Structure 1
Amino acid sequence: MADKNTLIVGGGIMGLCSAYYLHKKGYQVTVLEKSQGGMGASFVNAGYLTPSHIVPLAAPGVITKGLSMMMDSKSPFYIKPRWDIDFFKWAWSFHKSSTKEKVEKAAPIIKDINLLSSKLYDEIKESRDLGDFHLEKKGLLMIYQTDAYGNAEKEVAAKAKEMGLEVSNLNADELKALHGDMKVIGKGALHYFCDAHSTPNVFMAKMREYLIKSGVQIKYEEEVLKFDYSDSSIRKVHTDKDTYTPDDIVLASGSWSNNLVKQLGLTLQVQAGKGYCIDVHRPTGIELPAILMEAKVAITPMEGFTRFAGTMEFSGINYDINLNRVEAIAEAVKKFYPNVEITQEEIRNAKCGLRPVSPDGLPYIGKTGHFDNLFIATGHAMMGWSMGPATGKLISEVLEGNTPSMDLKPFDPERKFL
């Protein structure tokens, strides 16, 4: 495929993983990223590989809960009141997707793509293409302080076990024993041994370096403005700096995807779900990744620092940081780990990223029906990091015309939300 060139729009985890697998297949690849790089959801996420997260965000009661929290500036789930037709349509599709039946149907699909991706992370590490990078398999703790959250997670754990995932139910004493001298407050936890964790900025930097050395062009601060198309094919891609005539295009532009496809007469229901993170570059004593269930806060011991991440804020496409929400993360950590101190300076240095959220909790992966040379890779919500390599591999397979490693029908970019 050396004579075919592919243009990837977006330099996050989806764009770089797509570039990685297309390069392996012999394609000439160019990646366009409108930012300077090093920012966004691909760099500030919790770094989890989570086959255990079998329940999609679009679960029964989520919208109702979000509406009830609209007046609480420190709630873990927040919807900013605003007049936005695209958001209204997305919210209605989200509501229609939030049924018990659809959640049960989505669970094995989410598990399978996460397991595929976890295997691919291992393969990338074993290949030494990127040299060595941080990837640990200590599992993931879901720590709860109330019976309501504990019982809900035990139901999820039971389903995970039925699907063949390894999980252990810990009582309060077992949870404390697992932490040694580190004080932790919780009634118990579910320990998912199938999960792993990594350091996103390390992986992204090494992937970028490998791709550039391998001949992949990565152009930062270059924004796609419009497309020229005819006869079910996109002919040209115009940016603020150049014009490209690729054979194929992979749209991996996250929360900005719908704005780009609108000019093609397409609709891609995606909303930006903002998340925040605090990085503490000093010893915290935390050695195991954990999610604090009541607060929806994720804690990850990364390479050289500990990351505290959380919130799902639907407030449009912006990088505004609401310090109330950041402080809520720090306060939640204190309730579970009373000896961990997060300073005001660390809170002020918090970063945010915009997760692209589809209405049904499943990503968009595959070719569009309207254009022969347009492929979509977005909509992964909170599991983008976990699903990155799998998405890249699936995109490379469908672009080449091969049978993909998974059935792509559930990920159809033009599926209807009925």
Structure 2
Amino acid sequence: MKKDIVIIGGGIVGLNCAYFLQKAGRQVTIIDENDITNSTSFGNAGLLSSYDKTPLSYPGVVTNTLKLMLKGQSPVILHPTTDLKIYNWLTKFILSANEKRCKKTMMLFEKFGEISLQFYEKMIKEDNLDFDYHRDGMLSVFTEDKSYEDKLKKYNISDDDRFEILNHLQIKEYVPTITSKAKGAILFKKNAHFDSRRVMSELKRHLEEIGVEFILNERVEQLDIKNDKIKYIITSSGNLYKAEHTIMSTGYQTLLARQCNKELVMTPAKGYSITFDMPIELKPKTSTLFNDLFIVMTPRRDNVRLTSKLEIGSTDPKVIQKQIDSIKNNFFAYNESFDMKNEVTWTGFRPLTPNDIPLIGKDEKISNLTYAMGLGWLGMTFAPAIGSIISDLVANDKTNAQSDGILMFSGFYQ
């Protein structure tokens, strides 16, 4: 079956690549091993944190993580493993945790995050998509004195358009459940949040309406490569698809990349979410990051979602109750008790690169293959910017060197 452009993977990045390519006049087919109703993108916090949010590999991350481990509050879990690739990733992660790298990453976050926010707002307005989108900032709550003091030193300036340091009464107005144990909070005004499940559902519906083809519950098992081109895409059902161009957007899964002799420096990191109902008077006013605990609490139209945990070295796809209990214990150590009604738990794997920079761009040898991977916990934050970059690259037949977006924001060139 001959296709124009095939995107392997229907997460938020794959859907955005399809969105922009279809608008550029290409015929797009998305192949996904599931039915796109419970992917990692669906379990996302929905926090669009492109402004004033440090990357995972920030200076002092190792020391801070060890301190939280001693207190029993660390969100990071490293499982013993014999996989040397994980230790290679950890080494690169630690080397990336320096001031120079962090400053550069935050500048890139801001540039491409703003591009994404504007695209989301355009989709809402022009395509009439309901994302439950709110650009009302991100509240960063600090539970450790040192981290709060360090942040205050960095924001010892006057910029009312960008941030506001809140007193305890103001914090309580934003997070009614917060206790006096919280050390302080800063409202970063340029960030936004939405309902990730609604975004995925709305985007899929819209893409179907504009002609994008979905082939679901069909896993791509093999890429038949001849003369430096993908000749056929072979699926678990035995179907063969011939595409003019293939975009690999397979999340944390790297089997197909390895078939292309491409070793991606990326590791799956298992994360969790708890979605629940709570009294409206207790809901936070905006998406709230408990900075030292790596817990995000996001209000949605119908419920609230908590996300947390970063398990490295796990391959278990099941929800582990021990981890859910740990998230709750850490959260309620700084929040008043309330019932999480109609609770739904979820877990999934995020594709993490060592420096939070995505792996995007054309393969250097296989002429009709492009990668759109490695967005980690920031897939929702950057997906439209990535989709636009990939569309421009493929639809206009550019090389990586001709794309400013690839040169600036691809981990292949960092």
Cα distance change of structure 1 residues 255 and 317 upon mapping to structure 2, 3 Å threshold: farther
Say which SS state the counterpart of residue 136 (structure 1) adopts. Answer: coil
TM-score (norm 1): 0.89
Say which SS state the counterpart of residue 274 (structure 2) adopts. Answer: strand
Q: 1:279 aligns with which of 275, 282, 292?
A: 275
Displacement, 1:275?
A: 1.1
Q: 1:209 aligns with which of 201, 205, 212?
A: 205
For the pair 1:237 / 2:233, whether they are aligned, the reply is yes
Conservation of the 8 A alpha-carbon contact between 1:283 and 1:305: no
- Residues in 2 aligned to 1:21 and 1:371: alpha-carbon distance in whole angstroms: 23
For the pair 1:91 / 2:90, whether they are aligned, the reply is yes
1:19-38, aligned counterparts within 5 Å?
Answer: 19-38=18-37
Cα distance change of structure 1 residues 231 and 152 upon mapping to structure 2, 3 Å threshold: farther
- Residues in 2 aligned to 1:72 and 1:225: alpha-carbon distance in whole angstroms: 44
For the pair 1:360 / 2:355, whether they are aligned, the reply is yes
For the pair 1:143 / 2:141, whether they are aligned, the reply is yes
1:73-84, aligned counterparts within 5 Å?
Answer: 75-84=74-83
Say which SS state the counterpart of residue 350 (structure 1) adopts. Answer: strand
Q: Give the equivalent residue in structure 2 for 1:336.
A: 334
Displacement, 1:352?
A: 0.9
- Residues in 2 aligned to 1:243 and 1:337: alpha-carbon distance in whole angstroms: 54
Say which SS state the counterpart of residue 123 (structure 2) adopts. Answer: helix
Q: 1:266 aligns with which of 262, 273, 276?
A: 262
Q: Give the equivalent residue in structure 2 for 1:100.
A: 99
Q: 1:296 aligns with which of 294, 297, 300?
A: 294
Q: Give the equivalent residue in structure 2 for 1:46.
A: 45
- Residues in 2 aligned to 1:290 and 1:100: alpha-carbon distance in whole angstroms: 25
Say which SS state the counterpart of residue 279 (structure 2) adopts. Answer: coil
- Residues in 1 aligned to 2:291 and 2:321: alpha-carbon distance in whole angstroms: 21
Conservation of the 8 A alpha-carbon contact between 1:90 and 1:271: yes
Say which SS state the counterpart of residue 82 (structure 1) adopts. Answer: coil
Q: Deviations over 1:172-195 (max 9, x none)?
A: 23323445x655432321101101
Q: Give the equivalent residue in structure 1 for 2:250.
A: 253
Q: Give the equivalent residue in structure 2 for 1:197.
A: 193
Quick one: which amino acid aligns to residue 360 of structure 2?
Answer: I
Q: 2:383 aligns with which of 367, 370, 388?
A: 388
Q: Give the equivalent residue in structure 2 for 1:8.
A: 7
Point out the more displaced range, 383-392 or 364-373.
364-373
Displacement, 1:405?
A: 8.0
Displacement, 1:414?
A: 3.4
Conservation of the 8 A alpha-carbon contact between 1:8 and 1:30: yes
Q: Give the equivalent residue in structure 2 for 1:128.
A: 127
Q: Deviations over 1:67-91 (max 9, x none)?
A: 7777998631111111112212222
- Residues in 1 aligned to 2:153 and 2:376: alpha-carbon distance in whole angstroms: 22
Say which SS state the counterpart of residue 384 (structure 1) adopts. Answer: helix
Q: Deviations over 1:69-127 (max 9, x none)?
A: 77998631111111112212222222222222222222211211111111111011011
Q: Give the equivalent residue in structure 2 for 1:110.
A: 109
Conservation of the 8 A alpha-carbon contact between 1:330 and 1:342: no
- Residues in 2 aligned to 1:178 and 1:412: alpha-carbon distance in whole angstroms: 36
Q: 1:224 aligns with which of 216, 220, 235?
A: 220
- Residues in 2 aligned to 1:225 and 1:67: alpha-carbon distance in whole angstroms: 40
- Residues in 1 aligned to 2:3 and 2:369: alpha-carbon distance in whole angstroms: 14
Q: Give the equivalent residue in structure 2 for 1:409.
A: 407
Aligned residues: 406
- Identity over aligned residues, as a percent? 24
Say which SS state the counterpart of residue 42 (structure 1) adopts. Answer: coil
**Structure 2: unaligned runs, 5 residues or longer:** none
TM-score (norm 2): 0.90
Conservation of the 8 A alpha-carbon contact between 1:334 and 1:341: no
Quick one: which amino acid aligns to residue 148 of structure 1?
Answer: K
Conservation of the 8 A alpha-carbon contact between 2:3 and 2:242: no
Conservation of the 8 A alpha-carbon contact between 1:368 and 1:375: yes
Point out the more displaced range, 15-24 or 221-230.
221-230
